Amino acid sequence: MGLFLFSACGNEAETAQEPGHREEEAHEEESPASAELTEEQYQVAGIALGKPQLRNLSNTLTLTGKLDLPPQNMASVTAPLGGFIRKTQVLEGTYVKKGDLLATIENPEFVTLQEDYLKEKNRLDYLELEYKRQQELHEEQVSSAKTYQQTVAEYRSVQARVQALEERLAIIGITNGSLRSAKIRRILPLHAPLEGYITYVKADVGQYVAPTDVLFRIADTEHLHVELTVFEKDLTSLKKGQAVRYSLPGESAAQREATIFLIGKEISPERTVRVHAHMEEEDKDLAPGMYVQAQVALDDKQVLALPEAAVVQENNASFVFLYTGQEQEGDALMKKFRMVPVERGVEQGGFVQVALPAGVDTAAGNFVIKGAYSLLSKMRNAEEEGGHH
């Protein structure tokens, strides 16, 4: 507190000669960490007075994270049998509907697969007739049991082969009916498996792609949610249903709202856990992966609070200014203030919890709630000027 003790450099004669600045400086020495202002200085400093109020303030946990999508709202598109890209017509950011054409793929294996299927299907049709014929002969005991059993085995084997080929054709988008009614094709389409935005494209015309290569990624942003990264030590403070306020890049305040719906159970090597929150107002124009800064209110209690602007910092300590009244000094009416140490608590919404020393009447006392730093600066200047005398 030694910083705020003002040296005695003024005297009565000086005060009488200079009722302005000198009078103010002389009286500032009367009390450690005290200050006084003329009415004009009071107005210039923009000082406003107020009393501490009981307010509902919450301890707040600040977190970072990103916008994310559930797995069912994302899709990676590949060419199941690989091949050469012959046509593509979408770019990153394109909005597509389910079933829209993304690209066409050419692969000689498509021809072989269709050819094998048609051969086996024709063979199955023949064996089905033979199976029925042998069944009738067997029932009439005309043919031997061995011949009938061989026919049944062959029929079932080819039937299984045809079913397997149908499944392989379905993977590349060819159904049984479409193959029967159309010619064998070497170029096949890739369709969008869901509706959404194209977020990734790696498909150039003429490029050969393997079955494992991801050509497109699609994100259905209808159900974006907030994924937060929470340190292990803070995990017990969170619970399902808690309110989250968050902001996106470029937003100064956390005005967007979400609600925690899932708390992860796996702790990463960095000792963090993922926590998911539903957005109160979904916006499908946002992009998954966008950075998020969030605040979670941990509890809600009534505490004695002042505006943040009322509390000043000095030498790693916090202070407020208590208005102690006004006195006529010579020709000037001086407004007097005393610096009071406080302990800061919860901060939220522009207010800060304050613990005042015993003996300070919070009900009757008026505190500087605006212009506190101007008053502190005035005190410093007065001390420096006092030290030069």
Q: Is 230 exposed, middle or buried (0-12, 13-18, 19+ CB in 10 A)?
A: buried
Token digits for 339?
Answer: 């610096």
Alpha-carbon gap, residue 78 to 103, rounded angstroms: 10
Q: What is the distance between the alpha carbons of residues 198 and 191, in angstroms, rounded to a whole number?
A: 12
Rounded to 5 degrees, what angle do the CA atoms 11, 15, 18 make? 135
- Positive or negative torsion for Cα 11, 15, 21, 23: positive
pLDDT of residue 361: 78
Q: Are 36 and 24 in contact (CB under 8 A)?
A: yes
pLDDT for the residue 26:
41
The predicted structure's pLDDT at residue 299: 72
Q: Which two tokens stand for residue 255?
A: 């005005």
> Helix crossing, 108-139 with 145-171: angle to 10°?
150
Predicted confidence at residue 22, as pLDDT, reads 41
- Closest C-alpha to 320, from 363, 366, 364: 366
CA atoms within 13 A on the CB side of 6: 26
Q: Which residues touch 88 (CB under 8 Å, ≥6 apart)? A: 102, 103, 104, 201, 203, 204, 205
**Which tokens go with 117?**
């299927």
**Per-residue pLDDT for the chain (389 aa), expressed as one digit of tens each?**
333 333 333 333 333 334 444 444 444 444 457 888 888 888 888 888 888 888 877 777 888 999 998 888 889 999 988 999 999 988 988 899 999 999 999 988 888 888 888 888 889 989 989 888 888 887 777 777 888 888 889 889 999 999 998 888 888 888 766 676 568 888 888 999 999 899 899 988 999 999 999 999 998 888 889 999 999 888 888 889 888 889 888 887 778 889 999 999 888 898 999 999 998 887 777 888 889 998 887 776 778 888 988 899 888 889 999 988 888 888 888 888 888 899 888 787 788 888 888 878 777 778 988 888 888 887 777 666 655 54
CA atoms of 160 and 148, how far apart (whole Å): 19
Among 124, 120, 130, 122, CA closest to 156: 124
Closest CA to 306 of 289, 322, 286: 322
Q: Look at residues 52, 48, 109, 101 and name the one whose alpha carbon lies nearest to residue 83.
A: 109
> 51: which strand partners?
none
Q: pTM of the full predicted structure?
A: 0.54
Spell out the long-range contacts of 174-182 with Cβ–Cβ below 8 A and sequence spacing 24 or more: 174/114, 179/114, 179/117, 179/118
Residue 261: what pLDDT?
92
